[in-house]
Amino acid sequence: MNTDENTKDGKCVYDFSVKARDGSEVPLSNYKGKVLLIVNTATGCGFTPQYEDLQKIYDEFKDKGLEILDFPCNQFKEQAPGTDEEIHTFCKGRFGITFPQFSKIDVLGENADPLFRYLSANTKFQGFGAKGLVLGPIVKGMDKDYKNNGNVKWNFTKFLIGRDGSIIARFEPTAAMNKVRDAVAKAVE
């Protein structure tokens, strides 16, 4: 993805603030100069084991400037029940996550977090690949035109952000985690 396409409105991720688990506002400009992997997550999803891969990626690249920003979301089949603290306790206890986890958000609809509205508007759906045989019909039931818009389709959609705040890549939940790792490795070089 090129920077011009991602900043057609002159914005980048550093122009947004998000809500921490404690309710405080966190300006993403705090992460200037870092490579970011922004992920909407869920604790009761078939993709939840990706937390383990995300932690491995974080461990490997955090000292080279990577931050993974985790945003629990309960919009997809209510797979992220519980409070922010309950979700965090589960993720820390089960997967040992040490990367920042923020307050639960919506990524779709009129209550969608502005950051995710921006990410969705400035990226294209990458397809589900062979795993789409299962996920495609479920998503189509929620969004008949899902193949033709940038809306987040499911939990564990990932957005890779460069050190300048521009969007480098988008990974659907079905993307192989080694591809995500390789893209992160290239971005932190």
- Of residues 69, 50, 61, the one with CA closest to residue 185: 61
Tokens 């969007």 found at: 167
- pLDDT band per the 50, 70, 90 thresholds, residue 7: very low
Q: Yes or no: is domain 3-188 CATH 3.40.30.10?
A: yes
Cα–Cα distances (Å) from 53 to 30, 39, 83, 158, in that order, read 25, 13, 24, 13
Q: Kindly state the tokens that stand for 43.
A: 């604790």
Candidates 12, 45, 73, 91; catalytic one: 45
Contact criterion met (CB below 8 Å) for 64 and 188:
yes
Q: Specify the pLDDT at position 1.
A: 42
Using the predicted structure, report yes or no on whether residue 6 has a pLDDT greater than 50: no
What phi and psi values does residue 155 have, to the nearest 5 degrees?
-60, 150
pTM above 0.85, yes or no: yes
Instruction: Check residue 163 and report its DSSP letter.
Output: T
**Range with the poorest average pLDDT among 9-13, 22-26, 90-94, 154-158:** 9-13
91 has catalytic annotation: no
Give the tokens for residue 25. Answer: 């506002």
Model confidence over 102-134: pLDDT tens digits? 999 999 989 999 999 999 999 999 988 877 667
Does residue 19 contact residue 105 with C-beta atoms inside 8 Å? Answer: yes
Of the chain, the percentage scoring pLDDT greater than 70 comes to 93
